[in-house]
Amino acid sequence: MPKAYVIAEIDVHDLDAYKSYIAQAPISVADYGGRYLVRAGAVEVLEGDAPLPRVVMLEFPSMAQAKAWYASADYQKVLPIRLGASHGHAFIVEGHDG
């Protein structure tokens, strides 16, 4: 079964609120078997437009686990904090199993 990756590009406009989100969100990620691969490291553009300033990538054991995490009550409690403190976009990508 291929792994799944949640990728988000975020522009934070309320750092204090966002700090509250990043203190809470990792707990729910771990509860669903996920882990952070990238958490706002340096970005170098190879092609196209630059991403938003903060790039985050999570790895989950499967697409089902990634979707279950995003829909979970624990994550849905903290998600409004991120949405209020930043703008951006996020998506799930299924990994290649081979």
The band of 51, judged by pLDDT with boundaries at 50, 70 and 90, is confident
Ramachandran angles phi, psi of 30, nearest 5°: -65, -35
What's the chain's average pLDDT? Answer: 95
9: number of CA atoms within 13 Å, CB side?
8
Mark out the alpha helices in the chain (DSSP H runs): 15-31, 63-71, 73-85
Domains defined for the chain, CATH in brackets: 4-43+55-94 (3.30.70.100)
> Dihedral sign, CA of 78, 58, 91, 19?
positive
Reported as a single tens digit per residue, the pLDDT across 8-19 is 999 999 999 999
> Is 91:7 a contact under the CB 8 Å cutoff?
yes
